[in-house]
Amino acid sequence: MTAEDPKFLDEKSLPGNLRDVQNRVVNLALTALLVLALPAVIASLTQAARSGWAPNICAQVAAYAVVLLAGVFRSRLPFALRAGLLFTAGFVVGLGELLTWGRSGTSEVQFILVSVFAVILLGVRMGLVLALLGTVVSVVVGWSQSHGWLTFAAGGASASWVAHAMSYTAAALLLVVSLGRVHAGLAQAIRGLTRRGRRLAEEVQERTRAEREVRQLNDELEQRVRLRTQKVKMLSKAVEHTPVSVVITDAAGVIEFTNDAFTRSCGYTRDEIAGKTPRLLASGKTPKEVIKNLWDTLLAGREWHGEFCNRRKDGTEYIEEAWISPLCDDEGTIEKFVAVKLDITKRRELERALERMSRTDALTNLANRRAFEESLQREVSRATRAGRPLSLLMLDVDHFKRYNDTYGHQAGDRALQRVAGVLTSAGRRGGDTAARYGGEEFTVILAEADAQAAAHVAEAILRGVEELAIPHESSATAPHVTVSVGIATMVPGAAIEAEALLRLADTALYDAKARGRNGVQAAAGAGSPA
């Protein structure tokens, strides 16, 4: 039996009080008498058949009948009745001995034993009652014997029946009182043991419940740990195999963890970057303002998002888009930094290529009309703010339709490409913008160029095209390809919009064509002083 057994130290499985002990003693005594007294009863019946029914034989048979009745029906009889029947049987046997043999030690001992058992089973009060009852019987029998009313098989009576009765009474009372004190002590001890047993049972049950709760809590914690461990492993695997770089540093920025994508991106191994900071990758091209904003944001406890220009181990530069977050403890102190970074070098190159394509004429590789209009608007605004001149050239390939009709469109495309080559070199400066405006029309924006400088560039373009000597036998102007150029200049302090400047250049081009083509024509100063 263990502490987990529900019957362990259960009140029902132990004597709960003195009555439990007494009940068990009565049942045991009844059982023993049923078994042990049967031979004596059989012998008494045999003797009665030979010599007659003496009082002691009748008493034994009657007592056994009472015990048999109590033993058979003990499960249906209350405790007090069973105990009373047991004492009655003993008293009847003692009375039979007394009536048969007189006041002998056997009969009186029988009375005393009944009184002793009464003390044990029913308490001191019942023991005193039976002891006094035995005294009364002894006195009555002695008095009757002394007056000749009773005769016994064993012979005459004692000379002093009064002294004998008093001696019996003293012995019986002494035993009853002594056993009563012992009985009281045992009862108190049993009650104390019972209370202690109950407390112990309650403590054991409470401890058992606590152990069950602890085991249940441990099981729940183990389950949580298993689930969390699985999640951590899954997260770790995801971080290791993610295509983006993951970096974890301490509060000082010292690298503590990197995944495979990071090492592939920068070219360094984990051993090479262990104990280093991300400054190892710095190329010096990330603006200082970006770095300052990075630390201001992180130290304020917020996530930072931006870009770095870094340098790999082999010296090549690459661009990273980064998301960096601070990890804080419960008190808000930063403990770690977690960075997720994506190499966007190819994306930036593709974006720049797409931007160039969106702003570049595919045939001539010059700026297209959209890029030209944006650039013109920007330069007009800048010249207006700075109070500086701005010139715009607009030129057209003379008789280009005839050229296409004569030589074909492929030849026409090659001719336009060669003319565009002249625009990118003839007399131009780094800040100028050459563009294909549409068809065979081109434009050149000359920043900070007055009318004289613009005329110089226009003449250089005119000569450069003539030097190409592209045959044009259908031209009514010359046997080779020529261009006409119109110039519009924005004078310092003038207030004019980009569209107006473009119209002036277009008008000047129209005038150049009207004057016979293959020439330069300047419009009047654009705008009026502000």
Cβ proximity of 114 and 130 under 8 Å: yes
- C-alpha 17/C-alpha 191 separation (Å) is 6
Judged against a pLDDT cut of 50, whether residue 167 lies above it is answered with no
SS3 397: strand
Measured CA to CA, the distance from residue 410 to residue 408 in angstroms comes to: 6
Helices (H), 102-160: 105-122, 124-146
Answer yes or no: is pLDDT of 162 > 50: no
Q: Which residue has the tokens 């000359």?
A: 446
The confidence score (pLDDT) of residue 479 equals 94
For the entire predicted model, the pTM comes to: 0.49
Q: How far is CA 481 from CA 173, 180, 514, 517, in A?
A: 158, 148, 17, 11
CA distance 203 to 31: 37
How far is residue 357's CA from residue 367's CA, in Å, rounded to a whole number? 9
Catalytic-residue membership of 440: yes
Residue 80 CA: distances (Å) to CA of 77, 122, 166, 242: 8, 8, 30, 87
Is residue 324 a contact partner of residue 339, using CB atoms and an 8 Å limit? Answer: yes
Domains of the chain: 11-205 (no CATH), 245-349 (3.30.450.20), 360-522 (3.30.70.270)
In the block, residue with structure tokens 């012995």: 171
- In single-letter form, the type of residue at position 105 comes to G
* Best CA proximity match to 485, nearest among 448, 526, 456: 456
Give me the pLDDT at residue 161, please: 45
Q: Are 384 and 500 in contact (CB under 8 A)?
A: no
H-run or E-run covering 249:
strand 245-250
Residue whose structure tokens are 């790999």: 312
The model's pLDDT over 410-457, given as tens digits with 9 standing for 90+, comes to 999 999 999 999 998 875 666 789 999 999 999 999 999 999 999 999
- Of 10-14, 16-20, 23-27, 408-412, the range with the lowest mean pLDDT is 10-14
Catalytically annotated residue among 320, 440, 448, 473: 440
Which pLDDT tens digit goes with each residue over 183-201?
Answer: 566 667 777 777 787 888 8
Sort strands 483-490 and 520-522 into parallel, antiparallel or unpaired.
parallel
